[in-house]
Structure 1
Amino acid sequence: MKYLVLVAIAMLTGCATTTTPISAENAQKLTGESLVTAKRESPDFVAMTSTKGMFALVGAFTAISAGNELVESNNIEDPAADRCVDEFSTELFRL
């Protein structure tokens, strides 16, 4: 029972989202400054199946290859890449 409680506590901690507003003083320092964004290559997508999992390292390479092919053939974009930049720049310039 003791271990179950510890596992439950471990699973439930660290699941909070916080926002820290910029102080007025720091916002004033940003006046007239520019924002430069960069887009990096998306990480590999691993399409792991039980069949690929049986083959350890070779299966991992096969899963990465299959995942990347799936992403490319279906034109799947990384939703975080543009969304994070857009939201951050909008919030920053709203000050």
Structure 2
Amino acid sequence: MSTTSDECTGNPQWYAFLCSSLITFFAGLLLVLTWRIFAWLCYQNKRGRAGSQQKAIIHTAKKATDAEIGWVTEAKDWAGELISGQTTTGRILVGVVFINYA
């Protein structure tokens, strides 16, 4: 009589694990690539039909986002200064974080 641990270690089947891992990886890769190709083909067909309408929509959207860049940039700069180690507020925040997680 052998125990279950002897049965598991007595006959190593590493090749089964390797094959199942490779099959899973390549099946997932194939699935993702198939989806990307399908989406790309659909996008190409829509782009050919819409043409000038899409260009007009993109141009309008670009104008709208240009006005928003100012406050977004300002918010990013403020956040960068807040967590910077060169400002007093930044040093305090970094110190508090390290104390809480240490």
TM-score range, shorter chain: under 0.3
**Structure whose alpha-carbon radius of gyration is higher:** 2
TM-score of the superposed pair, with normalisation by structure 2: 0.25
**Higher RCO, 1 or 2 (CA under 8 Å, sep at least 6)?**
1
